[in-house]
Amino acid sequence: MGKVKKRWIALYVENEVGVLAKVSGLFSAKAYNLQSLTVGRTEHDDISRMTISVESDDITFEQIKKQLNRMVEVIKVVDLTDIPIHMKELLFAKIKQIGFEEKAEAYQIAQTFGIQVIDHDRDCVILESTLTERRNDELCVLLRRTFKHIDIVRGGSVAIEGVSTSCR
C-alpha cells in the first residue's frame, strides 16, 4: 500500500466558475484526506494553478491523480511529491495584549525566524512570515507557547518546480 504520508500536487485547471468546487468536491466525495488547497491565476488569464496537499498511501494517491486527470476542466496534473520545488506559505500572526517584555520577545522571535514585524501598537504587534509550511508550523508552536492572545492566519502553500535548487 505504501506508507501514508503527505503528498503534493500542482494542478492546472480552466479558470472557470465551479472548477474549485468540482476539485474540492472530489476530495470530499471520495473521502480523500485533503490537507491544503490554494489557487490563483497563472501567466494565462484563462488558466489557474492549484497547489494541493493530501495525506494518503501510494494507491490512494495514484487514484487521486487519475480522478483529477479525467476531469474535463483539469488541464494537467503535476506530482510535486518527490521533485525539486520551492514552496512557501504566507502566515500572519497578531500578538495581542502584550507588555514591554513580551513585545521584546516577539521581536526576538521574528529575528530568529527571519520574518518581518509589519505592524505595531502599544500592546500589539503583527508578524508576517513567508516560510515553508513546516517552519511556519514550528513558528506557530512557539507563538502559542509564548503568548496568550494571538490570532493566526495561514494561506496554505504555493509551490513552483525548482530549476537547480529545492526548498520545501
Partner 1 sequence: MDITGKKLIVKALTEEGVDTVFAYPGGMITDILDELTKAPNIHLVLARHEQALIHEAEGYARATGKTAVCLVTSGPGATNTITGIADAHYDSIPLLVITGQVAKALIGNDAFQEVDIVGMTRNITKYSVTVNDRKELGRRLKMGFHIARTGKPGPVLIDIPKDIQLKNGDPEYPKEVHIRGYKPNESVHIGQLKKGYKLLKSAKRPIIIAGGGVKISKANDLLTQFAKKMNIPVATTIMGKGAFPEDDPLYIGNCGMHGRYAANMAIGNCDVLFSIGTRFNDRITGDLNEFAPKAKIIHVDVDTASISRNVVVDVPVVSDATLALEKLVEWAEEMNTEKWLREIYAWENENPLGMRRDKGMTPQMIMEGINKTFEKAFITTDVGQHQMWATQYIKLTKDREMITSGGLGTMGFGFPAAVGAAIALKEENKDVVCITGDGGFQMNMQEMATAINEGRSNITVCIINNKYLGMVRQFQQVFYGKRYIATDLKTPEGACVPEGSYVPDFVKWAESYGAKGIRVTEEKDIEEALKKAKANKKTPTVIEFVVSSEEIVLPMVKGGTAMTEMILK
List residues near partner 1 by CB under 8 A: 13-14, 17-18, 21-22, 25-26, 29, 59, 62-63, 66-67, 69-75
**Least Å distance between CB 95 and partner 1?**
39
Cβ closest to partner 1, residue 42 vs residue 108? 42
Cβ closest to partner 1, residue 13 vs residue 127? 13
| Full strand arrangement of the beta sheet holding 33-41 | 33-41, 47-56, 5-14, 74-79
The answer to whether the CB of 110 falls within 8 A of the CB of 127 is yes
The letter for the amino acid at 97 is Q
Cβ closest to partner 1, residue 37 vs residue 139? 37
- Tell me how long the chain is: 168
Distances (CA, A) of 78 to 51, 89, 92, 118, 164: 10, 19, 29, 35, 18
Cβ closest to partner 1, residue 29 vs residue 163? 29
**Least Å distance between CB 39 and partner 1?**
16
The answer to whether the CB of 85 falls within 8 A of the CB of 164 is no
**Least Å distance between CB 32 and partner 1?**
13
**Least Å distance between CB 44 and partner 1?**
11
Locate cell 472530489: which residue?
Answer: 26
